Structure 1
Amino acid sequence: MQELAYATGIDPEALVTFHPGMRGAREKLQWASKRVTTWQEDIAYSLFGIFGVHLPVIYGEKKQNALGRLLQEIVARSGDITALDWVGKPSEFNSCLPANITSYEVAPCTLPSLSEDKIQTAVSSLHNTVAMELASKLYTLLHNTTAPRFANCRLHLPCIVFPVTAIKRRRDQDQETYFTYDVKVDGLNDLLITTEEKLIQFSRTRPSRQSLLLVRPWDRSLLELPDVADDMQSVDDCTPPASPSCDSLTGFPAEYGLDHSETHRRALRLIVHLGQPFAAFFLAQQWGGEYKRIASDHDIIAQVRDMSAVRDMMDVRTLEIL
Structure 2
Amino acid sequence: MFEASTGYKELLLLTMKHPPLKRIAEAVVAYFGCVMLSHRWEGTEPLLHDIQDRVVYKLTSGGSIAKLQLFCKTARDAGYHWAWVDTCCIDQKNSVELQKSLNSMFTWYHHSALTVVYLADVPPSSKSGALAKSAWNTRGWTVPEFLAPKVIRFYQQDWTPYLGDDSPNHKESVKIMGELEDATGIDARALVAFQPGMRDAREKLQWASTRVTTVPEDTAYSLFGIFGVQLPILYGEKKHNALGRLLQEIIAQSGDITALDWVGKPSEFNSCLPADISSYEAPPCVEPSLSEDQIQLFVSALRDAVALESTSRLYQTLDYLSAPRFSHRRLHLPCIVFPVTEARRSSGPDQETYTYAIKADGLHDLQITTKHKFIPFSRVRPLRTGLTFLLVRPWSRHLLELPDAADDTRSVTDWSVRSLLHDRPSAENDPVYSEFHSRALRLMVRLAQPFAAFLLMRQHSGEFKRIASDRDILAQVKDIASVHDTMGIRTIEIS
**Which of 198, 202, 209 is the equivalent residue of 1:26?**
202
Query: What is the distance in 2 between the residues matched to 1:186 and 1:8?
Result: 43
> What's the C-alpha RMSD, in Å, of the aligned pairs?
2.1
Contact 1:140 1:251 in 2 (8 A): no
Runs of 4+ in 1 over 6 A off after TM superposition: none
Query: What is the distance in 2 between the residues matched to 1:39 and 1:166?
Result: 44
Q: Residues 313 and 157 from structure 1, CA distance in 2 versus in 1: closer, same or farther, beyond 3 angstroms? A: farther
Query: What is the distance in 1 between the residues matched to 2:243 and 2:382?
Result: 38
Answer yes or no: is 1:138 the counterpart of 2:311.
Answer: no
Answer yes or no: is 1:296 the counterpart of 2:455.
Answer: no
Query: What is the distance in 2 between the residues matched to 1:95 and 1:251?
Result: 43
Answer yes or no: is 1:201 the counterpart of 2:373.
Answer: no
Q: Which has the higher contact order (CA 8 A, sep 6+)?
A: 1
| Partner in structure 1 of residue 453 of structure 2 | 280
CA deviations on 1:256-283 (whole Å, 9 max, x unpaired) are x970110010000000000000000000
Q: How does 1:30-41 map to 2 (within 5 A)?
A: 30-41=206-217
Instruction: Give the partner amino acid of 2:250.
Output: I
Contact 1:88 1:297 in 2 (8 A): yes
| Partner in structure 2 of residue 240 of structure 1 | none
Give the length in aligned residue pairs.
Answer: 307
Structure 2: 5+ residue runs without aligned partners? 1-176, 425-429
SS at match of 2:472: coil
SS at match of 2:289: coil
SS at match of 1:318: strand
| Partner in structure 1 of residue 392 of structure 2 | 215
Query: What is the distance in 2 between the residues matched to 1:167 and 1:122?
Result: 32
Instruction: Give the partner amino acid of 1:212.
Output: F
Query: What is the distance in 2 between the residues matched to 1:108 and 1:294?
Result: 18
| Partner in structure 2 of residue 73 of structure 1 | 249
Query: What is the distance in 2 between the residues matched to 1:26 and 1:309?
Result: 32
Query: What is the distance in 2 between the residues matched to 1:101 and 1:60?
Result: 18
Query: What is the distance in 2 between the residues matched to 1:251 and 1:205?
Result: 49
* TM-score scaled by length of structure 2: 0.60
SS at match of 1:147: coil
**Which of 348, 352, 357 is the equivalent residue of 1:177?**
352
**Which of 189, 200, 208 is the equivalent residue of 2:364?**
189
Q: How does 1:202-281 map to 2 (within 5 A)?
A: 202-209=377-384, 210-225=387-402, 228-229=403-404, 231-233=405-407, 246-247=418-419, 249=421, 259-281=432-454
* TM-score scaled by length of structure 1: 0.91
Contact 1:195 1:294 in 2 (8 A): yes
Between structure 1 and structure 2, the one with the greater Rg is: 2
Q: Residues 18 and 251 from structure 1, CA distance in 2 versus in 1: closer, same or farther, beyond 3 angstroms? A: farther
Query: What is the distance in 2 between the residues matched to 1:280 and 1:313?
Result: 15
SS at match of 1:156: strand
**Cα drift, residue 124 of structure 1:** 0.1
**Cα drift, residue 11 of structure 1:** 1.5
CA deviations on 1:201-229 (whole Å, 9 max, x unpaired) are 1111221131100000001010012xx12
Instruction: Give the partner amino acid of 1:192.
Output: Q
| Partner in structure 1 of residue 28 of structure 2 | none
Query: What is the distance in 1 between the residues matched to 2:420 and 2:340?
Result: 35
**Cα drift, residue 250 of structure 1:** 5.1
Query: What is the distance in 1 between the residues matched to 2:390 and 2:199?
Result: 30
SS at match of 2:419: coil
Q: Residues 308 and 219 from structure 1, CA distance in 2 versus in 1: closer, same or farther, beyond 3 angstroms? A: same
Q: Residues 274 and 131 from structure 1, CA distance in 2 versus in 1: closer, same or farther, beyond 3 angstroms? A: same
Q: Residues 211 and 244 from structure 1, CA distance in 2 versus in 1: closer, same or farther, beyond 3 angstroms? A: farther
Contact 2:421 2:433 in 1 (8 A): no
Query: What is the distance in 2 between the residues matched to 1:175 and 1:199?
Result: 16
**Cα drift, residue 60 of structure 1:** 0.7
**Which of 256, 259, 262 is the equivalent residue of 1:86?**
262
Query: What is the distance in 2 between the residues matched to 1:170 and 1:251?
Result: 55
**Cα drift, residue 155 of structure 1:** 0.4
Query: What is the distance in 1 between the residues matched to 2:307 and 2:485?
Result: 14
Query: What is the distance in 2 between the residues matched to 1:60 and 1:126?
Result: 57
Query: What is the distance in 2 between the residues matched to 1:43 and 1:258?
Result: 53
| Partner in structure 2 of residue 316 of structure 1 | 489
Instruction: Give the partner amino acid of 2:288.
Output: P
Query: What is the distance in 2 between the residues matched to 1:292 and 1:187?
Result: 22
Query: What is the distance in 2 between the residues matched to 1:93 and 1:163?
Result: 26
**Cα drift, residue 233 of structure 1:** 4.7
CA deviations on 1:59-94 (whole Å, 9 max, x unpaired) are 011110000000000000000000000011000100
Q: Residues 244 and 74 from structure 1, CA distance in 2 versus in 1: closer, same or farther, beyond 3 angstroms? A: farther
SS at match of 1:184: strand
Contact 1:21 1:51 in 2 (8 A): yes
- Work out the percentage of aligned pairs sharing the same amino acid: 63
Q: Residues 130 and 265 from structure 1, CA distance in 2 versus in 1: closer, same or farther, beyond 3 angstroms? A: same
SS at match of 1:205: coil
Q: How does 1:19-168 map to 2 (within 5 A)?
A: 19-168=195-344
Q: Residues 96 and 244 from structure 1, CA distance in 2 versus in 1: closer, same or farther, beyond 3 angstroms? A: farther
SS at match of 1:162: strand
Contact 1:136 1:250 in 2 (8 A): no
Query: What is the distance in 2 between the residues matched to 1:251 and 1:75?
Result: 34
